[in-house]
Every structure is written in structure tokens, then in C-alpha cells.
Structure 1
């Protein structure tokens, strides 16, 4: 009976993790560039009660008896499917259509990656800088901070689908600023370490960042100006998953109650 209690308890713990993951998805349904997550599970060790050759009369028995000892969370996997494009009309807002990530440099000097293209043009020490709402500068294909002369009007800066920056003069002529927004891919994006502010960090599981500008073996992403990539969370699917997790949690609690009742009956035997 004690084994039943611990097995059902592990199921309740696992389903609580699933509910926590679903709640996080629903909380970020309006977060730009957010990717929905799924809790994955695996079984625990099995206890062998009877081997396949053990019988009362010595006859050959091909199938043994093993009892599972519960479940545990194995991973929480992010699904990097494309989110819907939302038009903003702001020239500093950028969305990626494809598998790429923007690169930004944080205060600690490290490079992080994001799908959130809600950027702003701000005045820096060396000119106008394209940065996140937290002030992290966006990097170009060479890993340098994207800056343009301070005399330029940020409203006249445009970005094409390849990430190249252009400036429109007062006479209507367009000048190439020789700056290209860096877009990077990963062999296993689900292996990226999740940080706050919609940032991701490279890990051994994700592999090194692949620069789309220098690698011809990857499918190039498209940068779309004036749009933001919305969250790919599907509320209806999450609500169904929430119901399933709640029912599984309830069934495990019923198993604990049933084991407790059986132990009570055994203790009351005379």
C-alpha cells in the first residue's frame, strides 16, 4: 500500500508541473515572440515482483511481473513554430518569418537571442542605436552594435527582408547604411536556456549560433518591418490540456484515497 501512495503522489507532482507549464503558456498568450511549452514525462524504475521463469509448479512462464513506481518530469519542451504576424506600423518593430533569432548584447556583455522584435531607435554615445525596450543593443551580422549617424531621422530608416538598413533622404533618394541586422539559427532551438525578457542563452544542447549571413546551408529567414510576431499559444488547446492535467491529478488523488481506505480496513481486521 505504501508503494501505491508514493506512485500516486509522483503522478500528482508530475501533473502539477504540467498545470504550471500550461498556466505559464496562458500567462504569456500576449507576449511578443513567446513560444508555447509542453511538459514531457517518463516512467520511474520498475520493481520486479516475479521473474518470467518463476511459477508455483516449476513450469516455464514467459512473462514476468513488474510494478511501476510512478512518473517524473523529463523536460519542458519549447515549440518554435511560427507565430502570427501582427502589424504595428512602427518602423523599429521587426518580426522574423522563419527559424531565425535576433541577437542582442546585455549589460553583462554576453550575447543573447530573442524572437521579440519590439525594438526602438535611441540616441547612444556613437549615434542612433537600435535596441530592445530594456536598452540592449541589437547586433549586426558581424556581432557589432547597430548604429547610424545621430544626424539621421530615425523615422526615415527602413529595413528590407534581408535585414539591410536604408535611409531615405529629404529628396526621396535612398542610401544603403551598410548595416545588416544579424539573424541566427540553432541546430536544436529547444535546447536554448530560457531567461527573462524573452531572451535565450546558448547551451551545449542547442549548439552554437549559426549565422544566416555566412552559412549557405540554412534556409534564410525574412525580416518584416512594421510587424511583430505574436505568441504561438493556442488558448483552446491549452484549455483542453489543462482539463486533461486536472483529471489526471484527480485520478491520482483518488488512488491515494483508495490505498488509504484499504490500509484502514487492514488495520481494523480482528
Structure 2
């Protein structure tokens, strides 16, 4: 069987995967905190028909002769560039301007990370995400002093109003019109955020290659982001870029199908040699 046919099949499979990633990016163009994917290819092993030869006293060197056997998937990356800002004026909508991720914890003490800052207050006055996972941070004592203990952040039901500062400090006004500190939001810092694994629902989980810092840090420290209250970080998907990549992937897929059909015509001619 012709090698070109198998090379065309490998190209079709890879471009199909690229179209899958592009489709997912476009589907999440308005998803808060979504990070787009990118596909890269690598050439597959090559069949060497003649090896290289070094120069001698009587003639020059000869380069190797190799026939490529197609392409293979290189990587499927998550691109963690800053997403677009959407102003909502909701004080519990939080946008991260810079590096870092919010830290969430579920009832089973599993830890998740997210850039989606659409938070809410539950019936127990805890700050939670849409799935009910608790926002983590430094808690405050009864005197409003921030402690070093990490726990679930909450705002008392009796609070008249509340606000969240750029450094993550959560303040509220009590019944005596006094401003009290409820806690401070913490962020997780990663040396390689592309190494995180997507867990669905705008959540990421840690992986051995993400490079999670040993300690959680407060916003605006150690190079982490500042918090913008009343806004959301939207998807970093650029539709113009995605449609351009879609066109190139479609044409690449079509070109590989032409390789297969051409190879099939050659095989048919070979079969027809015997009448």
C-alpha cells in the first residue's frame, strides 16, 4: 500500500482534532474565565532510504534521503492570556487583573482553581461559586482582625452593605454603621498554568506539571493579580483568529483527502494493469 495514503489519513485525523478544539473555543466564546485551546502538530518518524555519508578525499559528502510517514499530534495547549473585561456592577462579580486563580473547596475538601469570578452568597452567608464551592481566604476574628487561618469566606446576614477591595479584603458595614473586615481572598500562583487540567464548570485542578506555589498568597503580592469588583473576566477567545484557524484546518483536511483519493487512483491503475 502507498505510504502517501497513510500519511493522508494521519493528517485528516489531526485536522479533525484541531477542528474539535476550535469548535470548543467558539462554543465558549462567552464563558466567563474560559481559556482557549490550541493544537500543534509534529512530523511522524521518517523512513530512511539512504543514510548520510561524510566527505572523503575524492568526493564530497552526501545528505540522507528520507521519506516522511505523516504527522502526529504534538500538543493541545491551554492559553492562559488575560480575558476581556465585562462590567456588571455586581459587587460579588470579581475579575482578576493579572496572574493567579481563585481557590475553591467543595464539601469533600477537594480543591479547585478558577478564573471565573461570578460568586454568590448561600443560605449560610458563605461566598460560593455557581456549583456551591466555597471561596477560600484568610478569615477574620470577632474584632475584624485578619488571622492566618484559611477558611471559607462569609458575609454576615446582618450586614447592611459590603465591598471587596483590590487586595482581596472583604469589608462589610454592620448595624452600627461600623466597617468590619470579614476576611481576605487568597489566590493560587502557578509557574506553569498551562499545566493545569480542565475539570469542567470553569474549574481547573492541579497537576504535577502546573508548578503550584507552596503557599497561597493575597492579591497584589508576589506578582499576583489585583481584584476588580463589579466585573467579570470573560473568555480569551478571539473569534477572528478562530475562524481563520477553522479555514486553514478545513483546507488542510481537504488537501489530505485529495492525497488519499489520488493514491486510490494510482492503486486502481496498478490493479488494471492485469486485464
Q: TM-score, normalised by structure 2?
A: 0.88
Distance 1:215 1:170, change over 3 A: closer
Matched residues in 2 for 1:163 and 1:214: separation?
Answer: 6
Q: Does 1:243 align with 2:247?
A: yes
Mapped pair 1:226 → 2:223? no
Q: In the alignment, does 2:135 pair up with 1:138?
A: yes
* Alpha-carbon distance in 2 for matches of 1:90, 1:199: 21
3-state SS of paired residue (2:13): helix
Contact 2:39–2:76 (CA under 8 A) maintained in structure 1: yes
Is 1:176 paired with 2:181? yes
Residue 261 in 1 paired to residue 258 in 2? no
Match of 1:78 in 2: 78
2: CA distance, partners of 1:229 / 1:214: 16
Uncovered stretches (5+) of structure 1, i.e. residues with no partner: none
Deviates more, 1:238-247 or 1:165-174: 165-174
Corresponding residue number in structure 1 for 2:155: 148
Which residue of 147, 158, 167 corresponds with 1:162? 167
Contact 1:53 1:59 survives alignment (8 Å): no
C-alpha deviation, 1:133, in angstroms: 0.9
Deviation at 1:185, TM superposition (A): 1.4
Query: CA-atom RMSD, angstroms?
Result: 2.1
Q: What is the rounded CA distance, in whole Å, between the counterparts of 1:107 and 1:87 in structure 2? A: 31
- In structure 1, the partner of 2:109 is 109
User: Unpaired runs of 5+ in structure 2?
Assistant: 139-148
Q: Is 1:189–2:187 an aligned residue pair?
A: no
Give 1:214 shift.
Answer: 9.8
Secondary structure at 1:8 match in 2? helix
Give distance in 2, aligned partners of 1:212 and 1:2: 58
